[in-house]
Structure 1
């Protein structure tokens, strides 16, 4: 009996003290408090400090990834609630974006296994940005990291607890059972219920049409949701319908930049501070009535090319202090100080654009005109000519015969072989904006714009450079569209009035290309098409999903910059309509061109083949052979493309061992179905969408997404100021047609060709606004994250993907070396051209020590971030 009692007692002693199983886990949180200098938040900060004296400002609970809580179904057990330590006494810099580290101690029962998530409640009155939570000496595991990167608002703003998961990726079927309900609930929270006006603390990702561009007084078509005007979807704001036109969404005041995007998609405090500083100048249109008084000759005209150069050499000097005082009445001091730049008297002094740094006139050469089609800001339109004369795809029953009027006689004098031979030898190329513009040209030319639809033929010379052969200027026929175009062909000339006519013809081509670049190559094909992928990813791929971890860095800041664009740039009467030639028809025209957008063709090798710039070649690493060997965008781009694809393939193959795993991934399939059927729903019936049934389709699709968001955007964005910051090189609009012999305009072209040129292209005020805008858009921010970089080196617990990512970084460093070598090879004339601007737009810029913000003209950010 005694032995039995002792045995029982010993058993109870062993079982009793559960406290002996409990451990204290030390942890640290890195977060950014809302800027303490924010005057709108001083009251909340004061209350936070008082409340935190009680030690309960921020609470956290760990969640087991091993054991479920019977009282809450299959959900993982929660540990004891604990609180952040020393909120008030922890130093926080007043500088926007500065981090602070806080300690926290968790009481954790070893029997609950490894934590897989935690919940957090913010009992303060203001939000903070939670970056990471790190746990030390977790029983049975050791070091554990949670990458959060999310704004946490006061708890009363949510109907649920905020939850964060460890840096361990799981496919849905592999997720530990106790974490599955939390994973699913978080996605439901992010999808929302589809109703109500969304507030800044909301985390809801949903879709809307582009029905927020116009107003009842200044109407624009709704883009998206129709066959007539298809468009990618944008992020939903939930703003109320316009009372006068319920089909459109009400707009905010232009001075109100608080446009809803999910809070974690908004610019960081540091970037927003930078952006506001840059954007001050883009408000130049407010200054138009007053700056006009500064110019002493022709209002809204540059009187000479030297006038334009003064924008960079010294700015526009004010006449006297009375003028300055007058302007001060209309301009806030901060804005005036930014515009004045230095001494407070010289307005609008801009950085010197690269295109005129070394040579003030080389931009006018035919060689540079052609080179920029291969290495400029819009190197994605030129294509190989495969039939002569150039044909049209426009419906002849509507538009008549739109075949080009360029003849063999027009071009044979500038070629050393006949046309048929040149086509067989892959020597003829075309920059063709005819079909894109002709359906809109009659309406466009009823605005202040007076322009043409252009075709430019070029010949590939033995030294690898392109030689312009002829430019066709076409306009709608006066008798009606079915009569075809009214066209004239201009050929190169070096002397006399013919030379001035040729320079004007090149300007019309540049106007076409500037508009197409702004609306299609840049806005539509990068900004707009990526946004649905961002929305669908957050709605259907958990942060635990490996594909979320792969893609998320490439979505940073895109929804925010797109929302700002809808607010002030592409809206009715916005900067784009004011400065780019399609004017009121700009976005409508981009919608029509979107009809031809095909997702798989955004892959660089296929895109080059489609344009005839390359042919398939299995002996090449990227599968194609270029037909212009010195094509800087394509040469550098193919190397970057291959590096991205190799990285994506190795990453995906780590998590997916078979096609069956792709097919049975419920989150992945829901994600892809929504991208196709909703995000790009106007094109959902097109047969060429990948079906997402194989690992190959997954790799190809993710590679395209990353390419478009990173390298393609870099190639068409960051060269804007270097090349178009000097507007005569890339004018955005033309205001009068080619002068006819016998007119006063023709006489002016003979006597003073530069003045005639300036009266034709973008006028003064639109130039100032346009330059201000592209200076902003061409800048890298202080907190830019580049391809091959991650915010957190411990972004995943899986070692093989981390090693693959390091291999990507190594490949990008090798690409940097190759680009520098090519730029130093004087035989490759298209790498630098007459203007002596080396091609660096696809230079990865991976070295931390060399990266600088501003107008660097190099570097590939991870995302469409500006």
Structure 2
């Protein structure tokens, strides 16, 4: 290979000794280093020949990869006292070290030693090659007077002509701003300025700019008025957290809406290059499969169901999806798919039968052991405590349930459930006694949905705003007592709600109607889960923290080092979501009941988002499912003792907080140090005023003036990004992969007695049920999506883990982190022990699905367990 490169250079230059360009001057004092990187062509095999040849030509022409050490002890008077720069050193053996498989390559680099450099605190790297590479680390051995010096880089380095400023990486030290060695201080500030950008222009893949924008890229008004969507963020009507700026031009139709990438370019939406998925995650088919859902599966299914009725006739029909798959009759389908999706992805999604495609789905856990237990009232109640959305149920403290909607605008929205309707299910208690004894609970989606219900029901959706009242039995399980389904008054919102109340029944048409009532409540909960509990309260709210941290906290800053692992892949998955999932006409609007009003509704709910209440103890107390108790392990007592999400969550929360306190206390030994940390203060100010700018005037924001507030704030950030997201994400396929259990759409109202629909319900209740909930096409599209979103990639990094063991040189934080990891191992054992204890009825339930969503670790794939460090999927 090297001979080929020499011949090419000789032909271009007429030089018989191009290799002479590689000669270097010998000196006596040298420091050897080791650079670990991954070449672009190794990660993109399709581009191997072109990239390798061009980089080889650059190498032989002397356009190489150079590194210059930066002194941390001696400034250069001719350069504003910035750290003195050493002489350039070059990566050696580039041409002879060629990998043909994905992986890292180590290169030797030899520096001419200059005594005036002293301890290197950073290095500048210049890439004169044709293509970019991923720089892992630089390690210097035997630096005179200092020994080993290590640099953790983990960054893409593009050709030098792509940058306005040279790329610089700091040694793996941690400094508060005021403690930064003088020769490095200006470099530190300049690096942050580079990352902020200037707020102008369209950003390109090599740009490293972190900046804010509104959610103004969901609609596509140039495509037609049906695809127009309001801008979310920047207004009192539609507040929203900020997302990463791309700088794309506005649409022709609406100057306030940003133009969108063509769907075929859906993977190329801008996020800073270091925020993009790693090569293993890409090869694990994640992004390609998301693309395939939107571009391949959806059109193929729509084509299929143009020819066949899109309805399941029975629950047995639904089971066939998992036991045999669904045959796609178009013979050209697989050939089309093969052109779009990598082979390994294809094997994951499809099988072949006589040349025809078969769409395969794994068996969801909720029906793996028992095909009908999901229909029981006990399981219906249990999933509010241990299912995919266990973060909404609250204690009922007044009867009848009240509404917080403005009566001037919405009239009387007080619940119509009566004491007489539920008292026969209270095990001998009166309603007042049950409330006093903390035995009544409610799953209440009424107020969130009622203001939008009239508009939602103008679409193909036909649904209600629901309230579900439940009773806490002596054995710790929840028994549903009544479900109220409400609609806006037909003559105007100001006239209040029109409501009907349904109570449990097991047999006959009454039993079928009760099953439908539970389905309507599940539809509400599914939509609220996906839009609020999941996307808004984890994905959307955490992205401003990612942006602010990179703009205001140096990589040298201890809080940057603490939080950075919890931001991995978040900007990338959110960008993909905006491109193909939550956009106008996207998969979410097609499969979740609020349809075109979905994201608008989540914006309205964001008005009630309060940062301190995202702390698990505060959330549990606010919902009334726990009370403060200084004598209890975590400082509070659960009023539902067998509440798996809360029980496991408090263990995880406590372990995170202890770790954060141990870490922060090492660097911040007083409140005064927090107050004088200018980067920390700028970070928090920008996060509040820009990242969550629509809430900047809220009085509840913590002041960044004490170690206690710093610890609490960082704990909340880590909790949201890791455990909260895991709890509401990775149960999606296990519980909702079987759509009758968690329907996402209702297409007709409750049948009225005396109507043909009522007679049909009496004659064939299964078919009537299935014709009410999510249709077959939307079911297949929806479960295709949530199967992908419920999978762990093989390179996932879980809570208590780091992708680089030498992430800091400070021994005390390393020891604290090791203690944190060991505590999580203890929690894992405790979770498994409790799941095996028959006293706890809600941990496994009638469906025999153990609660493992807050089990910290996992292997790759569809496991229903594991807490990744970040919102990475």
The interval holding the TM-score normalised by the smaller chain is over 0.9
Give 1:30's aligned residue. 36
2:509 equivalent to 1:502 = no
Match of 1:290 in 2: 303
SS in 2 for 1:88: coil
- For structure 2, list consecutive stretches of 5 or more residues without a partner in the other structure: 1-24
> Does the 8 A contact of 1:45 with 1:125 survive in 2?
no
For the 8 Å contact 1:21–1:110, the answer to whether it is kept is no
Distance 2:836 2:593 in 1: 37
CA contact 1:384–1:426 (8 Å) conserved in 2: yes
Q: 1:752 to 1:20 in 2, by over 3 A?
A: closer
Aligned residue pair count: 834
What does residue 826 of structure 1 align with? 838
**Pairing partner for 1:588 from 570, 584, 600:** 600
Per-residue Cα deviation, 1:436-487 (whole angstroms, up to 9, x for no partner): 0000000000000000000000000000000000000000011111111000
Find 2:866's aligned residue among 845, 855, 859: 859
Could you tell me whether the CA contact under 8 Å between 2:663 and 2:816 is conserved in 1?
yes
8 Å contact from structure 1 (residues 786, 860) kept in 2: yes
Which secondary structure state, in structure 2, belongs to the residue aligned with residue 325 of structure 1?
Answer: coil
Q: Does 1:355 align with 2:366?
A: yes
Is the deviation greater in 502-511 or in 109-118?
A: 109-118
Q: Which runs of 5+ in 1 are unaligned?
A: 1-18, 846-850
TM-superposed deviation, 1:742: 0.6
Partner of 2:12: none
Report deviation, 1:57.
1.9
- Measured after TM superposition, the shift of residue 651 of structure 1 is 0.5
Contact 1:621 1:642 in 2 (8 A): no
Retained in 1: the 8 A contact 2:504–2:514? yes
Match of residue 258 from structure 2: 249
Runs of 4+ in 1 over 6 A off after TM superposition: 19-22
Partner of 1:467, secondary structure, is: strand
CA spacing shift, 1:830–1:541, aligned 2, 3 Å = same
1:794 and 2:806 equivalent? Answer: yes
Q: Which residue of 2 aligns with 1:227?
A: 236
Maintained 8 Å contact 1:340/1:346: yes
State the partner residue of 1:408: 419
Q: 1:142 aligns with which of 144, 147, 150?
A: 147
What's the CA shift string for 1:574-604, capped at 9, x where partnerless? 1111110000100110000000000000000
Matches within 5 A, 1:421-820: 421-820=433-832
Q: Which residue of 2 aligns with 1:132?
A: 137
Give the CA deviation at 1:331. 4.4
Residues 266-277 of structure 1 aligned to structure 2 (within 5 Å): 266-274=276-284, 275-277=286-288
Retained in 2: the 8 A contact 1:205–1:538? yes
Over 3 Å counting, the alpha-carbon distance change for 1:132 and 1:378 in structure 2 is same
SS of equivalent to 1:797: coil
Are 2:89 and 1:77 equivalent residues in the alignment? no
Determine the C-alpha separation between the residues in 1 that align with 2:148 and 2:349: 51
TM-score by length of 1: 0.94
Distance 1:561 1:668 in 2: 27
Q: Quote how far apart the aligned CAs of 1:327 are.
A: 3.5
Deviation string, structure 1 residues 617-675 (Cα, Å, up to 9, x no partner): 11234221111111000000000000000000010010011111111110000000000
Partner in structure 2 of residue 305 of structure 1: 315
Query: What secondary structure is seen at the aligned counterpart in 2 of 1:358?
Result: coil
**In structure 2, distance between residues paired with 1:586 and 1:282:** 19
Q: Which residue of 1 aligns with 2:21?
A: none
Q: Give the Å deviation of 1:107.
A: 1.6
CA contact (8 A) 2:36 2:104 kept: yes
Deviations 1:661-716 (A, max 9, x none): 11111000000000000100000100000110111110000000000000000000
Q: 1:173 aligns with which of 175, 178, 182?
A: 178
Question: Shift of the alpha carbon at 1:270?
Answer: 1.6
Mapping of residues 207-222 of structure 1, within 5 Å: 207-216=212-221, 217=224, 218-222=227-231
2:70 maps to 63
SS in 2 for 1:109: coil
Q: How does 1:382-401 map to 2 (within 5 A)?
A: 382-401=393-412
Question: How far did residue 306 of structure 1 move?
Answer: 1.4
How many Å apart are 1:276 and its aligned residue?
A: 3.7
Q: Report deviation, 1:759.
A: 0.5
Is the CA contact 1:314–1:346 (under 8 Å) kept in the aligned structure 2? Answer: no
Structure 1 stretch displaced more, 285-294 or 543-552: 285-294
C-alpha distance in 2, partners of 1:42/1:734?
54
C-alpha contact (below 8 Å) 1:65/1:116 kept by paired residues? yes
**Whole-angstrom CA distance in 2 between matches of 1:228 and 1:48:** 53
